[in-house]
Structure 1
Amino acid sequence: MHAFIRDLPKAELHLHIEGTLEPELMFELARRNNIDLPYKSVLEVKEAYNFEDLQSFLDIYYQGSQVLQKEVDFYDLTWAYLQKAASQNVRHTEIFFDPQSHTDRGIAFETAYQGIYQALQDGKSKLGISSQLILSFLRHLSAEEALATLEQALPYKDSIVAVGLDSAEQGNPPSKFKEVFDRAQAEGFLTVAHAGEEGPPEYIWEAINLLEVSRIDHGVRSMEDPELLQYLAEKQIPLTVCPLSNVKLKVFDSMAKHNLKKLLNSGICATVNSDDPSYFGGYIAENYQAAQEALDLSQQELYQLAKNSFQATFLSPESQQKLIAELDNYCQVLS
């Protein structure tokens, strides 16, 4: 099953590029940019990845981002992820980046954007991975700050497909950002939002009704609201589920208690993703593998998760069908 999962054609739709910063690269960039880290070794960094909740992770996550200073740093970060993704047969990826975590410390929006964008272009030409970029607003900051970030993004809107919402969910409902998302949609951006990870099902309803999102990032707490679950299934609003992240951040006590299989069997367009793989112990194949082993997912269920991932992309229907045909061929050859 390991080889089947690794080589399964798949898309990744919930991936924070800053969350792919491996400790080894963190130290390399710290040396390059003369930054002192609060850790003495790679091992000490990894030992710090013992999180109690989302906020304890975010504290370390934002600290790690400090080593990203120059365009080449963002390029190297993104290129490292793309190489890993290629090794696990990710055919298409839609990547979040958090410009506010960089502009707030004096790094120009363009510096982060250009480094990431150039790596994504090289990923297409050299690795055969198509990609799209999603700008995420940090919900613990103000709506006014999010609007200022949106203004900075407008010159690049032809190459940024959507805006999203991440960071600490508790106390920061989607409704806080309605005006910002209205403006983003007026400018032609699609919308997504993290909801229903730590926050209640009501946050998922807000993301759907107020932010008019195309998909929900996480969304695992939708199981608590039967009406919501039925709505998500009927409308086929995708959930970008991140199993290892959910366990690492104590959303579920163990992988065996994760509701991914229940969501899938409820007719939800559930997908598997890695979120912040450097911090949560695995990239996309490891997430598939962990879920498969703990939840006894069949090859048919793994196929459906991969198919869902292509159907949930922001690609054209023609491009989606081309990737699904590749997936079908892979599974037929093995059957």
Structure 2
Amino acid sequence: MENNGHIVNGVGECLDEDVDLVFEDENKETRWSSLNKLRKARQLCDQILVIGAHEVPVHRAVLATASGYLLDLFLKLEEEGPAPQNGMCTCKLKEIDYESFIYLLDYAYTSRLEVPGEHVRSVYRAAIQLKMPAAARACSQFLAANMSSSNCIGVRQFAKEAELKQTADEYIRNNINEVTVSKNFYGLPRVAVVIIGADSELVESSDDRHMFNLVLSWAKENVDQENPRLEYLTEQTNILYLNSDNTLTDTKNISDDRRKDDLVRDYTQKTKNRKNLTPSKEPGNKLQVSPGGTVVRKFSINPDGLITEKEWSIIATYQLKDKTYLAIAMLNGTLATISIHYRTGKSNSGSGSDEPDSPDSVTPKLPVMT
């Protein structure tokens, strides 16, 4: 009789009630492999997960031990009632990428995560959504170790862990010249700002990061706090006035002689009837459950609909030319660029200004480097 294992305790001792038998099976991996074969053959499965146009039969117990997200789902389903007789409970997972899910599904059944390099970022995102921290950490470490000027923008956009964010931020700051000519950089949303009211001495002595933080505060206050949209900030150049107390005021809100400036007057006219872009609330990440194909049940891991504040931060700053600066920033969780141009000199009817009066003409061009 074949014995594929060994006794690790109790050998050579007299039979005694105080002695325990400990046997370690050397076929542990074979059992996991057998479970995976059962899953692929659709045998003994008790759950069907629908992702896009794909149906994926699975074993609840296996996925519940690998994914906190799915554990919550399966426990919720049990609370709502048993699965239909002669059939499996069917759940539709929304906002989960199918290909990324399959990589994580194989990992759940085999404890081995094997992902082509070009798919690691999407698998990382899916692992975060599915609450699979070990898989997410493995992807995070891979992304950090393979950071480049062509992929750091994408990595920073989807980074959730503080360590990966910090690694991406440091890479962007240390390689700003290469990053600002990458293809992904030019695809970022852009907030263009012209600041008036600052004299030349202040511009020369000021800390550009401090000024960008002032713009960041202004941007945060000028979007709908419940459901912000960047279009309100990116649809045209924003003209801001630097007050004596080192705060910024949108010039459309001022009512004194500063409005005599042609640039301000033109900007005020354009923004007078601009509508505040407040989108309709989109549904959260829900799971539609259809047991037996007849009754539809819904499941949400965020049942109270809590809104968590997304990131607002300045990642890196860069001087384009005299009086013109650029920053890479997170605006409500979206990676974007902010450009600042200081319009110094007198601000009345455009006289004494060092730039044309048209808001479009003062929007600085992005750097071209070799």
Smaller-chain TM-score bracket: under 0.3
User: Quick check: which has more Rg, 1 or 2?
Assistant: 2
Which structure features the higher share of strand residues? Answer: 2
Higher relative contact order (CA 8 A, sep 6+): 1
TM-score, normalised on structure 2? Answer: 0.21
Q: State the TM-score, normalizing by the size of structure 1.
A: 0.23
